[in-house]
Amino acid sequence: MTEGNFVDYVKIHTTSGNGGSGSAHLHREKFIEKGGPDGGDGGRGGHIIVRGNSNLWTLIHLKFKRHLRAGHGGNGAKSRSTGLDGEDTYIDVPLGTTIKDTETDKVLFEITEDGQEFIAAEGGMGGRGNWHFKSSTNQTPRYAQPGIDGYEVSLTLELKVLADVGLVGFPNVGKSTLLASITAAKPKIANYEFTTLKPNLGIVEYRDYRSFVMADIPGIIEGASEGRGIGHRFLRHIERNSTLLFMIPADADSISEQYEILLNELKKYNPEMLDKSRMIAITKSDMLDDELKAELSEELDRELPIPYLFISAVAQQGLVELKDALWKMMNE
């Protein structure tokens, strides 16, 4: 999926259908005088329903379709015939979509399962026919209820990428290179910061035909949780990853210090992120010889509270061990 086709935030305006009017019909039939009221009820208006669809990965299909309406209910008819219900309008969204009320910014629902449905705007109720209003003192009511109008709701849809492993790191540390090395994804790779502007997903093939999903999140810098850089817009995508792989280059001034900065940004954005499984991948380790790796390992064993691995996506070093460690962590 190209970056231009990845849309993770849209605002739409929805209007549910009006309810149909009840009928004020009086029964007329040969040999039957004063048949009485027999007007049927109006049908309900159509709902606006948001539905999860596991075949979708983005909200691009809603980018240029911002106004959605449901069908109106049919009017009641004679012989107590109820009008047809209005046609519901379904809004299919990828799994991991959060639905918010645009005016209040209140979270209404989160779609996490295929086929899961949420009625965002209920259709108006149909009016009751005149046969409901007959009584001993009013045997031929000549009135019926009109249908209730539908509801207008402005919705904000935010996609939080669902992935098993999320790649977290500063810009230009090799996240996209790793994704391209162990999946079929083709993210943009270049030697400058903020190459990745949109999250990229890839499926990692594992042993015995098993697999898991990896997400490359745009680079985070210090202060991202407060709006610096562009990573703050994508921190929400990390919320839906079950395991976080922190990627820090081997030539960093201090690996433990970079890890603490990244961890602090996640904590300030959402403290619950610290409950996720975490691992560190030390990238570009093909620059290190065995002696340097041994010295660095002694230092990291003292400073790091989580497991780490030396990898090089370019030199294809440590990738099998990385997949094994991630699989074990996800299935503990």
DSSP 232-279: GGGHHHHTTEEEEEEEEETT-S-HHHHHHHHHHHHHHH-GGGGGSEEE
Going by the annotation, the residues of the binding site for Mg(2+) are 176, 196
Going by the annotation, the residues of the binding site for GTP are 169-176, 194-198, 216-219, 283-286, 312-314
Sheet holding 200-205, edge to edge: 200-205, 211-216, 163-169, 241-249, 277-283, 308-310
Going by the annotation, the residues of the binding site are 169-176, 194-198, 216-219, 283-286, 312-314
161 to 31, 96, 109, 133: CA distances (angstroms): 69, 6, 16, 54
Cα-to-chain-centroid distance, residue 252 = 34
- Give the tokens for residue 269: 């954005």
Q: What SS3 class is residue 317?
A: strand
> Using an 8 Å Cβ cutoff, are 167 and 238 in contact?
no
> Using an 8 Å Cβ cutoff, are 179 and 191 in contact?
no
Look at strands 97-101 and 152-159 and give their pairing: antiparallel
